[in-house]
A and B are shown apart, each in its own frame.
Chain A
């Protein structure tokens, strides 16, 4: 079966510190992978998506970056966090039928 995991689940970081959120997918090969952010009380904003290893598309200019070093691994990073980076980050992979399957989410609080 297809599964997706992301970690850490919860993270509290000071302003200016680095960030690394990791997402891995199992049970599928060459999936489309996505990072979304959900700010408090708001909808989902697509940050990055990837259709293959090393292929990253950025949807909005921001303080974050993404990488896909392996087929089923997707990493969200920042060199220096801002207060506005706080939010709930969701990784997802695309299924053949077109829908997305989401991970459990990572809650980031920047202080």
Chain B
């Protein structure tokens, strides 16, 4: 079945450091891929998405490229801020399905 695997956290960085959160997936066909962010005490917000191979999703300085050859969708940001501290979830929607499968989430803590 479809599944998503994220790197375990927490990830602790200093402000302005480079961020990578790894995400790999297992799915048949051509799934759509998503990154969501959850700030403390809140629901999830869509951060970015990609719907086909080699697409790059980007938003608020975050980027992720849909790599079918490595079944990956790693999240990157060149310079993190304290306000980026949150839990990040990678998710996929299988081709022809109407459900999202989420990874376990990765907690990011950014210190001044």
Q: A36 → chain B, closest Cβ, in Å?
A: 8
Known: A32-B98, A44-B89, A49-B98. A104 touches B105 (CB 8 A): no
> What per-residue 1/0 map shows which CB atoms of B66-78 lie under 8 Å from chain A?
0000000000000
Say yes or no for B104: interface residue by CB 8 A criterion. Answer: yes
Q: A31 → chain B, closest Cβ, in Å?
A: 11
Distance of A97 Cα from B49 Cα, bound (Å): 10
Q: A6 → chain B, closest Cβ, in Å?
A: 8
User: Once the chains bind, are A43 and B104 in contact (CB under 8 Å)?
Assistant: yes
- Bin chain B's interface residue count: 20 to 34
Known: A44-B89, A99-B46. A49 touches B99 (CB 8 A): yes
A residues near B (Cβ < 8 Å) are 32, 34, 36, 42-44, 46, 49, 51, 59, 90, 92, 94, 97-105
- 15 CB contacts below 8 A, A to B, read A34-B99, A42-B104, A42-B105, A43-B105, A46-B101, A90-B43, A98-B93, A99-B32, A99-B34, A99-B46, A99-B93, A99-B100, A103-B43, A105-B41, A105-B43
